[in-house]
Amino acid sequence: MAMSMNRRVFKWSTWLGWQLESNWTDPFPFIIYSIAKPIAGSLILVVMYSIIAGIGGQTDVGLFHYMYVSNAFFMFVAQVLFGITWVIHDDREHYRTLKYLYISPSNFFVYMLGRTISKLLVTTFAVIITMAFGVFFLGVPLDILGVNWLLFIVVMFIGLACVMSFGLALAGISFLTAKHSMGMNEGVAGIFYMFCGVIFPISILPGWGITLAKTLPVTYWLELIRRTLGLGEGIDTALASISTVDCMLILTISTIVFAVISVGVFKLGDYVARSKGLIDMTTAY
Amino acid sequence: MKFEENYEKPSWAVMNLRTAFGRAYPRIIGVNREPSWVFFDTFFPILSIAAYIYVYTALQAPPQYLGYVVIGGAMTAYWMNVLWGMAAQLYWEKEMGNLELYMVAPISRMAILGGMAIGGMFTSTVRAVTTILAGIYIFNITLTLEEPLMFVGIFIFTMTALYGMGMMFASMYMLWGREAWHMSNLLTEPIYLVSGFYFPVKGFQFLLGDPGFWLAVGASIIPVTLGLDGMRQCFFGPADGFLPLWVELFCLIILTVIFIILARFSLDYMENLAKKEGRLTLKWQ
C-alpha cells in the first residue's frame, strides 16, 4: 500500500516538475532556451582559452578538453542543487502549497525526489547539446566507439545519486532560510566549481585546497567521466596517480556517506521548520 | 471630514521620495534581519569568481586578466540584482499580491522601482566590495586606479543606465507569468558571455575580426558591457580596452537617458495593456 502510494507520488511529482519546467512556453522557444544557456556558459570558457592561447599563454588542447567536458557535466551539479532547494522556496512562498503537501498522506521526501527527476531530464538534454556542440563545432575529439559505456552509466548513476544527496541536504537547510538565500545554492555549487577540478586541474590549487578537493566525491565523479570519455584525462597530476578502480571505490563510499548525512540533514531541517512554524513562512522583501 | 481637513497632502516630489524610501527600507532592513544572507551572499559567490581566477592561472594568462575577472565578478552582483531584484520583482510582487496595492496607491511606479533599485544596490554593493577585497587580499591582485574621475563617472552612469534597463524589463515582466523567471535565467550566462564579464570584450575582435567588433558593439546596448570595459581601463590602462574611455562614458550617458525614458513609457504602456488583458492580478500562470 505504502509502496503503491510512493510510486504514485513519485510519478505525479515528476510530471508536475516537468510541467513547471516546460509548459510556460511553446516547444520551440523552450528548446532555444534550453540550448542558449548551456552553450553560452561553455563559450565563456572557449573565449577565455582562445584569447590566452592567442596571446601566447597555455595552448595545451588537452586542458581545453578537460575544461569543456567537466564544465558540461557540472551542469548536473549546478542545476540539481539549485532545482531541489528552489522547490522548497517555490512551493512554500510562491505557490504556497507546501503546507498542503504536508497535510496530504504523500511522503514529502518521495515528492522531492520526483521533482528532482524533471530537473535531471532537462539538464541531461542541455549536457547532450553542449557535448554535441563541442564535438561538431569546437573539435572536441569524442570517440563514441571508444567510450566504456557500461562504466560511464555506472559512474553517472552513482554521481547523480551523490549530487541529489547534496541537494536534499540543502533542501533541508532551505526550510529554515529566506527566499533571498539563493546565494546558498550558488555558493555550494561554487565550492564544487572551485574545488572539484571543473574548469582547472586541482593540482594548481594550494596544498590545503588539493586536500579539500580530494575529500569531495564530485572530484572523483568528474575525473571518472573524463576517463571514461577519454577527454582531458591525465591533465590533472593530483589525480593521475589514483587508479580508476580506486576512484570508483572512493566515489561509491563517499556517496553512501553523504547520502546518509543528507537524509539526516533533510529530516532535521524539516523537524526544526515544523517546530518553529516555518513551513508556511513568506519572505516577500 | 476632520481628518481630511487637517491632513496636508504632501507634494508630488515628497510623496514619491517617501515611496522610494519606503520600498528601499524593507530590502535593507529585511536582509539585515536575516543574518544568513551576509554569509551566503558575500562569501559563497567569491568561490565561483575564484574558479575563473584559477582558470587564468592554469592558462598562464598575464596578471591583469586576474584583475579583469575580479572586476567582472564584482559587477555580476549588480547584473543579478537588476535581473532578479528589479526586473523579476514585479512578477514576484504580482504573485505575492503586492502589485495591486502598488497600482491603487497615488504614487509613481518609477518611485517604487527606484526604491527597489536603491535597496538592491545596497546588498549588491556589499557583495561587490567583498569580491574586490577578496581579489586584493586573497589573490594578491593589484588594483591601481589610474583614472579616478573617469571611474566615478563610468560607475555612476553604468548603474543608472543598468537600473533604468531593469525598470524597463520590470514593465515587461509585469505582464508575464513564469516566462519572467525563465527570461531572467536566460539572461545570465549569455550576457556574461557577450558583455565580457570574465574577459575583455575586445577579445571578440581579437578572435573574430570585424564580426567580433560588431558583436561587441551590439553587446554595448547592455550598459554593463561598456561599464565593465571602462572600469577595467581605469584600473589597467587602455591596452585591452574596446573604445576610448571618453567614448564609453558618452555612450553610457546616452544609454542612461534612453533607458530611463523607455522605462517611463514602457511602464505606462505595459500597465495599460495588463489592465486591458486582465493580467495585473493574474497569479500562478
Summarised one tens digit per residue, pLDDT across range A150-164 is 999 999 999 999 998
Q: What is the pLDDT of residues A221-254, one digit of tens each?
A: 999 999 999 988 888 888 988 999 999 999 999 9
User: What pLDDT is attached to residue B190?
Assistant: 92
- Other CB atoms within 10 Å distance of the CB of residue B284: 10
Find chain A residues with C-beta within 8 A of B126's C-beta.
none
Residue B8 is assigned to a structural domain of this protein: no
Residue A74 has which C-alpha cell?
Answer: 557540472
**DSSP 8-class letter at B29:** H
Alpha-carbon dihedral of residues A90, A92, A95, A100, nearest 10 degrees?
140
Nearest residue of chain B to residue A198 (CA atoms): B51
Residue B281 is assigned to a structural domain of this protein: no
Find chain B residues with C-beta within 8 A of A33's C-beta.
182, 185-186
The CA distance from A1 to the nearest CA of chain B, in Å, is: 33
Q: pLDDT band at residue A182, thresholds of 50, 70 and 90?
A: low
User: What pLDDT is attached to residue A265?
Assistant: 93
Q: Does pLDDT of A285 surpass 60? A: no
User: What pLDDT is attached to residue B269?
Assistant: 87
Query: Residue B157's domain spans which residues?
Result: 14-276
Find chain A residues with C-beta within 8 A of B54's C-beta.
194, 199-200, 204-205
Residue B282 is assigned to a structural domain of this protein: no
User: What pLDDT is attached to residue B113?
Assistant: 86
The CA distance from B43 to the nearest CA of chain A, in Å, is: 8
**Euclidean distance between CA atoms B139 and B133, whole angstroms:** 9
To test the contact with chain A by mutation, choose from B55, B204, B207 the residue with the greatest count of A C-beta atoms within 10 A, namely B55
Residue B285 is assigned to a structural domain of this protein: no
Helices B109-137 and B44-58 pack at an angle, to 10 degrees, of 50
Asked if B138 has any chain A CB less than 8 Å from its own CB, the reply is no
The DSSP-derived string for B111-177 is: HHHHHHHHHHHHHHHHHHHHHHHHHHHTS------S-HHHHHHHHHHHHHHHHHHHHHHHHHHHH-S
Residue B3 is assigned to a structural domain of this protein: no
Is B96 within 8 Å of A282 when comparing Cβ atoms?
Answer: yes
Q: What is the pLDDT of residues B130-185, one digit of tens each?
A: 889 999 998 888 888 888 999 999 999 999 999 999 988 888 877 777 777 788 88
CB nearest A181 (choices: B40, B178, B189): B40
The CA distance from A40 to the nearest CA of chain B, in Å, is: 5
Q: What is the pLDDT of residues B67-97, one digit of tens each?
A: 999 999 999 989 988 888 888 888 878 877 7
**Euclidean distance between CA atoms B100 and A74, whole angstroms:** 41
Residue B164 has which C-alpha cell?
Answer: 533604468
Asked if B193 has any chain A CB less than 8 Å from its own CB, the reply is yes
Find chain B residues with C-beta within 8 A of A77's C-beta.
none
Q: Does pLDDT of B102 surpass 90? A: no
Residue B222 is assigned to a structural domain of this protein: yes
Residue B2 is assigned to a structural domain of this protein: no
CB nearest A57 (choices: B60, B185, B188): B60
- CA A139 from centroid of its chain's CA atoms: 25
Q: Please compute the mean of the pLDDT values over residues A263-282 and round it to a whole number.
A: 88
Total domain count, chain B: 1
CB nearest B26 (choices: A50, A181, A285): A285
pTM of the predicted protein model: 0.87
Find chain B residues with C-beta within 8 A of A186's C-beta.
40, 44-45, 48
**Euclidean distance between CA atoms A114 and B197, whole angstroms:** 36
Find chain A residues with C-beta within 8 A of B222's C-beta.
none
**Euclidean distance between CA atoms B191 and B223, whole angstroms:** 11
Residue B73 is assigned to a structural domain of this protein: yes
The size of the A-B interface in CB pairs under 8 A is 157
Q: What's the mean pLDDT when you consider all of chain B?
A: 87
Is B193 within 8 Å of A40 when comparing Cβ atoms?
Answer: yes
Helices A217-229 and A61-89 pack at an angle, to 10 degrees, of 130
Nearest residue of chain A to residue B95 (CA atoms): A94
